[in-house]
Amino acid sequence: MATTTRALLQLCPRQALCRRGYATVRQDLHGLYNLPKPPTARRRWMLGAGGVGLVALVYLIANEPAHKTEAPAPATAGFDPATPVALQLGDGLVDSGTTSVPPFPTRVTAPDNAEYALLGLGIRTVSFLSIQVYVVGFYVHVDDLAAVQTALVRRVDPTASSITALEKEELRKRLLDPVEGEKLWEEVLAGGAQFRSLFRIVPTRNTDFQHLRDGWVRGIQARSTKNESYDDDAFTAALAEFKALFGGAFKKSVPKQKTLLLARDAAGVFGVYYDPTGRNDGKLGGKGEEQTVQNLGSIRDPRVAKALWLCYLAGAKPASEPARKSIIEGVLALASRPAATLGV
């Protein structure tokens, strides 16, 4: 047997076959058998096709709009979403953070002819590629700034009229915390302060009402399913009303740079308005029927507006993290001043 094995090794030094019964043992004497084989023509073709497919997929994702839209525009360099803007006097403009949307007015006259002050703004993005969808700004009625300030200050010191620097940092940490921040805003919106507010939304690309609605519904449901106070037939009906507000033949397209206003009154009643002019001077609408602001409807159940507001103000995954941080800095600026000095 030994003589036979030596003969085999001399004949084939790379690999020798030893037959023992019915088994065949392959001996790799020089470690050559496990070396990677050169790719065949078929393998080279498959690797090349796979690489091209991956590049094409990344390209399509990068250029896929929120619906059927234009390619996203890069953010403007130097934009700081943490800059508080609520206390600027007079009519001014704040950089939107993107070249796709004009600057935001610091004051807006709403459909009720009341003036609202900008607390903060930011860009909503989607997917891991951070594709821009719209810019959102949070406004509070100028006569209700003091009510917001008082509600926030009392969460830190029930007897104070404003907060100190240390208390301001404490409040910032609570607002930034996903759990504490949502709890605090929940208390404020549920009755801690009677104030009127609105979100001004301007798309960075052409989109439609259904796409925007679906995102809001997902955010509302993410909160309502975890809270027993939403578990009844009345809220189910109210959410169905919310979906219906954005239906209909004329409610399809929302072109780039046009304006949507999501409004919440002091009682928590929700309303939504569409301005086809897209003007950014703080006014709404224009001359002629085609430039008239459209009132899409309202919902009286306050839980709808509260859940939607929380999608922007708090939580681990807000609709826009830059907007949330900017709004926090805005309300901290309010809380740092005595209530009597607000409303200017």
196-220 pLDDT, tens per residue?
999 999 999 999 999 999 999 999 9
Residues ≥6 apart with Cβ < 8 Å to 297: 241, 244, 245, 271, 272
pLDDT of amino acid 51: 55
Tokens of 224: 């309502």
Chain-centre distance of CA 300, in angstroms?
A: 25
What does pTM read for this prediction? 0.75
Among residues of the chain, what percentage have pLDDT more than 70?
Answer: 72
Residues ≥6 apart with Cβ < 8 Å to 234: 301
Encode pLDDT of 11-48 as tens digits. Answer: 444 444 444 444 444 444 444 445 455 556 555 555 55
**pLDDT exceeds 60 at position 231:** yes
Distances from the Cα of 133 to the Cα of 24, 232, 245, angstroms: 65, 33, 21
**pLDDT exceeds 90 at position 87:** no
Distances from the Cα of 62 to the Cα of 69, 129, 132, 170, 204, angstroms: 12, 7, 11, 40, 15
